[in-house]
Amino acid sequence: MSHDHSHKKDNIQLAFFLNLSFALLEIGGGLWTNSMAILSDALHDFGDTFSLGLAWVLEKFSKKGRDSRYSYGYLRFSLLGAIVNIIVLLGGSLIILSRSIPRLIAPESTNAPGMLVFAITGMAVNGFAMLRLKNDQSMNARVVALHMLEDMLGWAAVFIVSIMLIFTDFFILDPLLSILITAVILFNVIRNLKKTASLFLQASPDQISLEKIESELRAIKNVESVHHMHAWSLDGEHHVLTTHIVVKNGTAQPEIQRIKNQVRALGKLYHFMHITIETEFTGEDCSMQP
């Protein structure tokens, strides 16, 4: 198991260094070929590189566990990284658009053979990374593999455009492709911004229905009612649940323990990593009431 875990970790590191190296190469290649499409993809790759590096660093952070300062551990640092990533991608996208849109009016010639070389290299690099990650089942690896697939499709588009530009003078295709790539980046950035803001505001995870969980808790034997139930997510994958359970008067301690065990078992089905349960007897004043 440790060998398998190390192998997966090495794959993510490999994808990180491949992305970083190729993104730097793309900057020079985009300037050399005068291609806004390649520069746009460089922005995309830098965003992916940041995400990969963050996943790598946070894996080390998560091993630290909780301490007196961060009682839930360091998982929420991923949200901070997501915000930084969003700001970088938004700023970069605006710069790319400010350079690409004027070229729709006054197209500039590009080095089509150079674009073709970069397109083939881009498809090869991302295809190799995908092959290394395809058998990994971890969430990080699956997300990384999806990024690699998106990049490979982007380079396939550059490949097609570069071939067209070798035989035609439709130089407007380059800024059009650049704007398309940037639009895809902005779409994903806005979608991730909404998710990240929701996590920061401690909204209930999308895949969890508090009404359904409350109904299942009420169905447990000797549970009278449920209140003050809250669910939120630390990082989008690891969730927290707190709830007050009202039990019948006279319920013995072993029965209360059985109820708590059932609540915890139910929580595990919904992937809650931390569950806090407070039990009260019927008619007892709740300390959380207004």
SS3 state of residue 279 = strand
The confidence band for 193, taking pLDDT boundaries of 50, 70 and 90, is confident
The confidence band for 2, taking pLDDT boundaries of 50, 70 and 90, is very low
Which pLDDT does position 175 carry in this prediction? 85
How many residues in the chain?
290
> What domains are defined for the chain?
2-200 (1.20.1510), 210-281 (3.30.70.1350)
The C-alpha angle with vertex 111 and arms to 110 and 116, in degrees rounded to 5, equals 115
Q: The tokens of 139 are what?
A: 């969430």
Report whether 174 contacts 35 (CB < 8 A).
yes
The confidence band for 8, taking pLDDT boundaries of 50, 70 and 90, is very low
Amino acid letter, residue 41: D
pTM listed for this prediction? 0.64
Query: What radius of gyration do the chain's Cα atoms show?
Result: 25
Q: Which residues lie below 8 Å from residue 76, measured CB to CB, with a gap of 6+?
A: 234, 235
The confidence band for 10, taking pLDDT boundaries of 50, 70 and 90, is low
Average pLDDT of the residues in 123-135? 75
Amino acid letter, residue 143: V
